[in-house]
Structure 1
Amino acid sequence: MVKIHPDKTFLVDSGVEEDESPLYVTTEQESFTIWMKSLVFHGKGCTVFDSKGNLIYRVDNYNSKSCSEVCLMDLYGNVLFTLRQKKLELFKSWEVYNSTGTRFRLKRNFKISPRDSSSSYKVIMRSCRDDDDQHQSCYKIVNHGSVFAIKDGSGRLMAEVKKKQSDINGLDLGGDVLTMMVEPHVDHSFIMGIVIAYSLIKCKL
């Protein structure tokens, strides 16, 4: 059987206490495995492992009939981001919050040109305490088939997500197992929040 995560165990003692904030930014490129399945029986969600096989993020939606609000948690169940669907809008969008006041909205960009097969989504980010639109930051998701990239406002690559293949024989592990590569000096918890919002818009979570 091909393993989804590279290690033998789900939980590894990282030396981080439950009430401490783990380090989400590193100086090197980080690789993650996203399994679009919840560890909760009959629940919807996803499970995320780092390159050593440690469980690092999870989404568990106990009410599988409703996904208007979703929480991205760490391995201890601490909520990192809360995602809420924006209702009464023509096109589906999601707003994402955390406890420090960070807020961003993900919505689709619509282009006129039919020749470009790619699709893009805009991420507008600002502090909940800042009502000045001039202080907004903008990021973009560009989708090319089964691969999508997250870029900052200047076009710099922040992360890339694609289908995961087995390290042994290169077999495709299926559409619900993904590899996420996060560039150095990028907060991968923030990237994970974007990926979850994007998956919700695409009805893959």
Structure 2
Amino acid sequence: MQILSNDRIWICPAKNMVKIHPDQALPVDSSAGEDKSSLYMTTEQKSFTIWMRSLVFHTKGCTVFDSKGNLIYRVDNYDSKSCSEVYLMDLYGEILYTLRQKKLGLFKSLEGYNSTGTRFRLRKNFKISPSGSSSSYKVVMGSSRDDTQQSCYKIVNRGSVFTVEDGSGRLVAEVKKKQSNINGLDYGEDVLTMMVEPEVDHSFIMGIVIAYSLLKCKL
């Protein structure tokens, strides 16, 4: 059972109630004229809670909170997993990234772009992992189809955890199932924690994570 109360989201197992984000939520500063790009650049490691549910009735999507419980991102504008176009928005409904599914032959990919010109393409990496215990997806920046000429990121899936790495292999973000601090209670498979490293645009990372979830049919 799920309850919405005072802009709070509660997950209610039989006799217990678990909040998926902390007690105190602070208002987000929406000062006019502010450079919004600075809102999304991390200065230190940041934690986010991703709830793979939309707050809008009868739509599919997800809701993202920061560590203080503020609503930061939302996707709630489609009603089918086969939807060809999805929008990552801020809490006010402003579109940050447009995500479009593409199909070339037998293989699907997903392209994302924003109003400032940032573009990326996500597709499965068909190189076999040496250990055989992980799979990966390649994130190619820019609009060119020549992957060798573009800077890249990579998503590596290791079971219940997946990471985002830059072209040099540096960890940029990690996403895994959110753990409850209350013994015996479980948030469920649709509540995740995303840790984003310093000096990273977390709106871009969120765009990649949403694209990955769509390709994996997790969203």
TM over 0.5: yes
The answer to whether the aligner puts 1:125 opposite 2:141 as a matched pair is: yes
- Is 1:138 aligned to residue 143 of structure 2? no
How many angstroms does 1:133 deviate by? 6.8
Matched position secondary structure for 1:200 = helix
1:184 counterpart residue number: 198
CA shift for structure 1 position 48: 0.1
Question: Secondary structure, in 3 states, of the residue corresponding to 2:19?
Answer: coil
Check conservation: 2:81, 2:217, Cα contact below 8 A: no
Structure 1 residue 64 displacement after superposition: 3.0
Q: One-letter code of the match for 1:138? A: C
For these two proteins, the number of residue pairs brought into alignment is 201
Q: Which amino acid aligns with 1:169?
A: N
| Contact 1:95 1:103 (8 Å CA) reproduced | yes
**Residue 67 (structure 1) aligned with residue 69 (structure 2):** no
Matches of 1:45 and 1:194 in 2, distance apart?
15
Alignment match, 1:42: 58
Instruction: Output one character per residue of 1:90-117: Cα deviation in whole Å (capped at 9) or x when no partner.
Output: 2111000100111100000113468512
> What's the Cα RMSD here?
2.3
**Change in 2 beyond 3 A, CA 1:172/1:111:** farther
For structure 2, the 5+ residue unaligned runs are 1-16
Q: Which residue is 1:110 aligned to?
A: 126
Q: In structure 1, how many angstroms separate the alpha carbons of the residues matched to 2:103 and 2:160?
A: 28
Q: TM-score, normalization: structure 2?
A: 0.84
Alignment check: 8 A CA contact 1:40 1:62 kept: no
> Which moved further from structure 2: 134-143 or 79-88?
134-143
State the shift of 1:76 in Å.
Answer: 0.4
Using the alignment, how far apart are the partners of 2:112 and 2:105 within structure 1? 16
Structure 2 Cα separation of the partners of residues 142 and 203 of structure 1: 16
User: Partners of 2:41 and 2:184 in 1: how far apart?
Assistant: 29
Q: Distance in 1 between matches of 2:185 and 2:215?
A: 28
Q: How far apart in 1 are the matches of 2:86 and 2:103?
A: 15
**For the residues of structure 2 that align with 1:66 and 1:120, how far apart are their CA atoms?**
22
Q: Report the TM-score when normalising by structure 1.
A: 0.89
Stretches of structure 1 lacking an aligned partner (at least 5 in a row): none
Determine which of 19, 30, 43 is the counterpart of 1:3: 19
Q: Does the 8 Å CA contact 2:78/2:86 hold for their aligned counterparts?
A: no
**What's the CA shift string for 1:165-197, capped at 9, x where partnerless?**
112337431110000000011110000000000
Take 1:46 and 1:193, find their aligned partners in 2: how far apart are those partners? 12
